[in-house]
Amino acid sequence: MKSSILEPGSHAMLSMPGMGLFLVHTDLESTVNFYKQEGGEPEAAWCFSIKNIEGLYEHLRAHGVQVTKLRHRDDCGINFQFYDPDGNYFDVNDDHRIFVPLDRVKKEEDLFVLLKRKVGSKEAIADWDAVSDTLGNNKRLPCRVVLHGWDEFRANWPEQAMELMQRLEKHNEAHTDKRAEIITR
């Protein structure tokens, strides 16, 4: 990727294989934000996925950038938004975390459906062996696996909680290049 420096009255270009991004200076004041409905909240036209979202969040806050709170947005994972000095609204997602909301599990089948979706399996996960296979084939690992609602899940589903933790630990032993940092909350 090639880039050029943006100077006042000039433009910047990011040139990538098969595409390019041009940042052009205009005399008209505008942003790249868009709105889904009249009078609604701005939507981010740009979304970044990064590996250290907490670090970027703290860096931007420390430098006076207007940021929203860190929050969990389901499929986006941990996420926040910020404005640049021109009023452009940006979205930032954590690409280094798999967030598993265990508080949604009401029956064992729910757990397998949840793991299929969160771990990104194209195949149905119907049993614990399929969980192990899916973890071993996951392209997002290594990363952090956040088991949200762990204490309640472990209290309500002790056998499944023990099995899930054992499968994650066995995965880490067998796949040292795809280790998951397991976080319980």
Q: How confident is the model at residue 93 (pLDDT cuts 50, 70, 90)?
A: confident
Domains of the chain, start order: 41-95 (3.10.180.10), 97-184 (3.30.370.10)
Closest CA to 153 of 97, 111, 125, 120: 111
The model's pLDDT over 27-63, given as tens digits with 9 standing for 90+, comes to 777 777 778 888 888 888 888 888 788 889 999 999 9
Who has greater pLDDT, 111 or 25?
Answer: 111
**DSSP per-residue string spanning 81-148:** EEE-TT--EEEEEETTEEEEEGGG-SSHHHHHHHHHHHHT-SS---SHHHHHHHHHT-SS-SEEEEEE
Who has greater pLDDT, 90 or 50?
Answer: 90
Class of residue 98 by CB neighbours under 10 A (exposed 0-12, middle 13-18, buried 19+): buried
Is pTM beyond 0.85 here? no
